[in-house]
Amino acid sequence: MKRALLIGSQTGGLTGVHTDVEAMDAALTSLGFTTTVGTGTGATAAEIVARYRGLIEDTGSRDTAVVYYSGHGGRERNPPAAAGPGSPPWIQYVLPTDFDDRSGSGARCVLAEELSLLQLELTEKTRDVTVILDCCHAARMSRDAGAAQASTTRTRRCRWPWGRRRRRGTSARRGSSPG
């Protein structure tokens, strides 16, 4: 079976995301894929991870899987990186639709390490996997098992500097804007 997860997170003044997801949906459906689409409330941080886990659960060893994300990607300096060489210098992430929600203690994003670990779980089910990240800072975002860092928990506990972000999702500081 051919399966695709299509996520569209239209945030921070970004336009055209839903059109991108609709176009990808039409293209993949015409190729025989069964698609799961998440936009709006279906593209929150929790929903992105839950839908990715659903794809993993539903995928068999002979299946083909595609994961597509359209929206903002971002990166921030990694505070633990200053403490030691084992941490990456940047924390990379995709921005879900609930990115601006400041309730609770967790960051509202999906970290590159999380995407890599989800990709690892998916490729353990089937080797026929394609991940497309249509966002800024996508390089090194979803990687093979050797690149997946075990620092996901540690980076989740960081004091995130996002409180200084402007409403549209741009950075108040130079050099660290979601794109």
Per-residue pLDDT of the chain (179 residues; tens, 9 = 90+): 999 999 999 999 999 999 999 999 999 999 999 999 999 999 999 999 999 999 999 999 999 999 999 999 999 888 876 667 777 788 899 999 999 888 877 778 999 989 999 999 999 999 999 999 999 887 777 666 555 544 444 344 444 444 333 333 333 333 344 45
Range of the domain at 101: 2-161
pTM metric for this prediction: 0.79
> Which pLDDT does position 146 carry in this prediction?
56
Work out how many domains the chain is built from and give that number. Answer: 1
- Tell me if 61 is assigned to some domain: yes
The separation between the first and the last C-alpha atoms of the chain, rounded to the nearest angstrom, is 34
pLDDT value of residue 96: 97
CATH number at residue 98: 3.40.50.1460
Residue 52 lies in a domain: yes
CA dist., res. 24 & res. 30, Å (int) = 10
Beta carbons of 24 and 54 less than 8 angstroms apart: no
pLDDT of residue 149: 44
Does residue 19 sit within a domain? yes
Does the residue 178 lie in any domain?
Answer: no
- pLDDT score at 79: 81
Is residue 87 a part of any domain in this protein? Answer: yes
Strand pairing class (128-134; 64-71): parallel
What's the confidence (pLDDT) of residue 134?
95
Pairwise CA distance, residues 127 & 149, whole Å: 21
Which pLDDT does position 54 carry in this prediction?
A: 98
- Give domain status of residue 175, yes or no: no
How large is the angle between the packed helices 112-125 and 45-58, nearest 10 degrees? 10
Quick one: pLDDT at residue 176? Answer: 41
Residue 151 within a domain: yes
169 in a structural domain: no
Gap between the Cα atoms of 170 and 153, Å rounded = 25
